[in-house]
Structure 1
Amino acid sequence: MNQTAPLDQIAIELVRNAFHSICDEMAESLVRSSHSPNIKERRDCSCSVYDVAGDIAVQAEHIPIHLGVMAGALRHILAAFPAAEMAPGDVFLVNDPYYGANHLPDFIVAGPLFAGGRMVGFGASMAHHTDVGGLTPRSMPATATEIFHEGLRIPPVKLAAAGLVDNNILTIIAANSRLPDERMADLGAQIATIRVAQSRIDELARRYDTDQLRYALAEIIRRSEAATRACIAALPDEIWYGAAAADFGGEMIPLRVALSHQGDRLKIDFSGSGPQTNSPFNSCLANTLACVYMAIRITLAQGIPANAGMYRALEIAIPAGSILNPVFPAAISAATQVSYHTFEALMDALSAFAPERVLAGTGGGGVFSFGGMNPLTGRLFAYGEALGGGSGASNVADGESGMIPPVANLHDTPVEVLEMSLPVRILRYELVPGSAGAGRQRGGFGLRREFQVLTPVRCSFQVSMPTHGPGGLLGGGAGAPTRITVTAPDAAPLSITGFSELSAAAGTVIRVETAGGGGYGPPCERAAPARAQDRLYGYGDIQIRGAQA
């Protein structure tokens, strides 16, 4: 083909899908090459491609929070390292939320991509590393009051120059982790994703020249922006309000949002939301923005490729000093727990004009972490994961049971992997009877998981929804709240109702029952066939919350 000809519509779509394939292959190589169960089993990672200005153009369908966060983090890298000075093989790293990242365990690794000696754009991956220091194993301390308690902070740094990795930086990272070998392996896997992306760009460059590839990325972004603006311009001239309460162990922190539009620009204003807390229960700015992107993507802009073009059509106001935009040096590791409620407030507002596309509140248990010395290996270990619950119902379907909330979209760690790699035994893993919220469509059921630790450990509980279960929508009932009990040998059960830490002796059993999902629509409108199916699967016998089976 003529290498200087502008790309037609078909060619642009072919290139867009090629970049999607690049993102997918980057993610697959990261999952297969990493060592930690957090990435290998739970797939707590995401990959994206950006244009030369650092605007996200294409992303793999992975974790919405990650992909929204990654949209802004590269800007901070470019502010510290101008693109004009970058060379093939350069790699950059950042994990600090105050430089556009999510929370400290999430490492963002990015590098420029070249074709014909000129930059085409950037490839990047984001992955949750099991431990980066801090007060407790797994770097999710429940009692942190400032970010310095949560682990190693890394502002934008140059990790590799022309393919040569800076071992001094690796040494610092390894020295600040309880699992240094795992950190090096997972970080190496992230660096390799940039090489994967570059090799695929080299293949694309055999068919398209650099100008064409850059033009395609720009056009991909422009089309998303035009489509999003058209959707916004068609909205009625109204203001939609949404609210939720972030459940911080009984302290209900208000989250408020107002949506309106001026021409083809949508305004999202979080004024009136509660102040930041003196704890990790704060959402960094990037995390809150990611919730907005996710909510708009599945409702107003459904079917439109999510990238910087979509985000340009949004005007977002988040007051500094609020729980949704805390000021330095606030602790921030529980940002995702706050995001569950942020998403709920957005769904509440969007239900006014897109009731067929919203979801009721989705349950979860927060993050349970523990670690100590493994007697079998004589080395430190750390475990932790965000625990799924019942998903919220929608206009057309019941909520799924035992699901990570949609802003996270993770897998859980299989029982077999846990028991083979850690001194722990899983005694129970099942759905929680009676935890689903009632409605025309019922919510999903939460999970019950019992851990018996086989060696002394230090535990951290960042509990999600311990007082009030996820809310229903449009008349639906709320799901059951999270319940956690710790039973030490020869001791009465201890209830965990908020963010807390404790030391547990060998033989201690920790039972986590995660929140169920909210229902959608009045329970009295539940169809007879659905009620019959409830009885068929035993749901009628365990009495769905708020309704008769």
Structure 2
Amino acid sequence: MNPALDPITLALVQNRLDHISHQMGWVMTRTARSPQFSQAHDFSCFIADAHGMLISQADGLPIHTGGGGFAVRAILRDFKDAIVPDDVFLLSDPYTAGGNHLPDWVIARPVFVSGKLVAFACNRAHQVDIGGGAAGSYNPEATEIFHEGIRLPVLKLIEAGRVREDLWRLLLLNTRVPDALDGDVRAMIGSTRIGAERIAALVEEVGSDEFFDGVLAHADRRFQTSYSRLAKGTWKAEEPMDHDGFQPVDNKIVVAVTVGESGLIVDFDGTSPQMQGSKNSSVANSTAAVFMALASFFEPDLPKNEGAFRSVEIRLPEGTLVNARPPAAMTMNTILPAFEIIHAIWKALAQALPERASAGWAKTGAQLVIAGIYPNGGRYVMYPFTAGAGCGAVEGRDGLNMIGNLITLGGMTAPNLEDYEYLFPVRFRRQEFRCDGGGPGRFRGGTGCDHEFDVFTPADYCYLIGAGSARSASFGVEGGKPGASAEPMLLLDEGSVFRPTRNSVVRQGPVTCHGLTGAGGGYGDPKERDPSRVLRDVRDGIVSVAAAERDYAVAITADGLHIDEARTAQLRQAAAA
């Protein structure tokens, strides 16, 4: 490393880059038109250097940003020397443009200082609707990518400061909600402009972009220190995928993590072949999931840039669920198999460093999008981001009861219910933590959510069957138990109940939707849980009196307010025997 790149300045540069990522996110949140951006934060801002290496992903969702370097390198590949100041690029395609799935559009703005390309300011955001066979970016019947919406190779949306109006009209023509898309893309462009201005100011202040190489090298050293604690050897694990969207299947993600002296090899040999449904992953998406699994396993202050993974070799066999061949459908891949990739790696790493083990987070039982007509006319597309699942417990901490799902690591937030009732023809009846959902353990898994709301207009309900319904939604570790399974959204109409068992579009009049999200796994022997914690859970309504005795060997008095000390002592003694 250049000796002039002192550690203090490197730390300041990394923090400034991360702050710029956050600033871009704040701009997007405050200016986007759709609530999935302004409320749920289903977008992510990141920064890459002039070579397309990710140098900051502090904002948003790791599944968006971890593969961001692929998108920028696709721009450099396709446009080479034709990148000039005030250009803005647009892309999405997972096969040709470094995308993860088609709804996630990337806006990338090159940053120039004194005529030299130094970086890219980027925003990846899941668009409300991109055409295709069903409203809302998810086509339940898709069996190839052509069914899923408009495919965007690397394009210049703005050329040297001039908007390509013909391309803009093409984009608006290929969405059911052009007003929303128009406002959201403009917000993305604005966020990258702010980011580019801040990055240029940083480079001018420190006098060079060599510091970007320095922060990448620093992250490499930090990660090497982290993985050096892993036991040497090859650690294998797998995670099931039980449904392809059309029928039950017996697929699996298989991984072998080899820990050597100079790096890690993450090999997915043995993973099931690509499937007919949309749970197939692109290289960028699978890489992002691998990076997320590795980064989240170690200390939270590990630098989150591409330099951290220089010592990691990822092997993704072509034609499998983790590297599908075209024209495989891919819309679900940021959720599944990304969940399975992360879980499988966590299981493998836990064998090499058990004290860092995490129980499984709950998988998404079903992806639902609601599309209808407002009472006064005009189309709407609503994503029910209001109901999160439970996350897994770790040593020293219960799982969070409701959180943005695993591939967001909590970066996606639950929208304000009152705002949703204002924006859409819906009314929420309840939104509460499940009782007896969380996986029992010395530290309990997150409970998941029990939610119910009315939809007042006829609508299409687009269901994509996820995972964790036919079997447990999560797994326990160190003696902990798995969390409760998800029960996909139910449609109740005059007493009838619809339980989706395959990908489908259901057209219904005004209905009530009800569902239970999955729950996280527990950590450690449940019979070792502090009885006072069990009592608190009973008082909070998230563990029943019966489950307290059955799962935790803690007897609660009939009024649910106190521990029956004598009965509890008997139960614990019997459990120990």
TM-score when normalising by structure 2: 0.89
Indicate conservation of the 8 Å contact 1:484/1:510, yes or no: no
Equivalent residue for 2:344? Answer: 345
Mapped to 2, the partners of 1:503 and 1:81 lie a distance apart of 45
Mapped to 2, the partners of 1:34 and 1:183 lie a distance apart of 9
Q: Where do 1:59-458 residues align within 5 Å?
A: 59-82=57-80, 84-98=81-95, 99-209=97-207, 212=208, 214-233=209-228, 235-248=230-243, 250-300=248-298, 303-335=301-333, 336-363=335-362, 364-376=364-376, 378-385=377-384, 387-408=387-408, 409=410, 410-458=412-460
Mapped to 2, the partners of 1:357 and 1:133 lie a distance apart of 43
Equivalent residue for 1:477? Answer: 481
How many residues were matched structurally? Answer: 540
Letter in 2 for 1:121: A
CA deviation map 1:377-409 (0-9, x unaligned): x11111125552111111111111111223223
Indicate conservation of the 8 Å contact 1:434/1:542, yes or no: no
Mapped to 1, the partners of 2:418 and 2:103 lie a distance apart of 24
Equivalent residue for 1:492? Answer: 496
Indicate conservation of the 8 Å contact 2:53/2:69, yes or no: yes
Mapped to 1, the partners of 2:85 and 2:444 lie a distance apart of 53
CA deviation map 1:10-52 (0-9, x unaligned): 2222222222221111111011110000100001111111111
Mapped to 2, the partners of 1:283 and 1:74 lie a distance apart of 19
Q: Does residue 517 of structure 1 match 2:520?
A: yes
Residue 389 to residue 205, structure 1, CA distance change in 2 (3 Å)? closer
Residue 544 to residue 479, structure 1, CA distance change in 2 (3 Å)? farther
CA deviation map 1:143-194 (0-9, x unaligned): 2111111111101111111111111111111111111011111111111122
- Any stretches of 5+ residues in structure 1 without a counterpart? none
Letter in 1 for 2:340: H
Equivalent residue for 2:530? Answer: 527
Indicate conservation of the 8 Å contact 2:366/2:489, yes or no: no
Indicate conservation of the 8 Å contact 1:113/1:197, yes or no: no
Letter in 1 for 2:82: E
Mapped to 2, the partners of 1:353 and 1:277 lie a distance apart of 31
Indicate conservation of the 8 Å contact 1:137/1:371, yes or no: yes
Letter in 2 for 1:384: Y
Indicate conservation of the 8 Å contact 2:40/2:414, yes or no: yes
Give 1:362 shift: 1.1
Deviating more after overlay: 481-490 vs 515-524: 481-490
Mapped to 1, the partners of 2:546 and 2:266 lie a distance apart of 39
Mapped to 1, the partners of 2:259 and 2:276 lie a distance apart of 34
SS of the aligned residue for 1:253 comes to: strand
Indicate conservation of the 8 Å contact 2:138/2:331, yes or no: yes
Give 1:198 shift: 2.5
Indicate conservation of the 8 Å contact 1:375/1:455, yes or no: yes
TM-score when normalising by structure 1: 0.93
Identity, % of aligned pairs?
31
Q: Where do 1:11-30 residues align within 5 Å?
A: 11-30=9-28
Mapped to 1, the partners of 2:490 and 2:531 lie a distance apart of 41
Residue 404 to residue 343, structure 1, CA distance change in 2 (3 Å)? same
Mapped to 2, the partners of 1:25 and 1:277 lie a distance apart of 39
Mapped to 1, the partners of 2:44 and 2:159 lie a distance apart of 23
Indicate conservation of the 8 Å contact 2:111/2:196, yes or no: yes
Letter in 1 for 2:507: S
Mapped to 2, the partners of 1:321 and 1:543 lie a distance apart of 48
CA deviation map 1:263-309 (0-9, x unaligned): 31200111111221111122222222111101111224653212121
Give 1:453 shift: 1.9
Mapped to 1, the partners of 2:532 and 2:478 lie a distance apart of 21
SS of the aligned residue for 1:395 comes to: coil
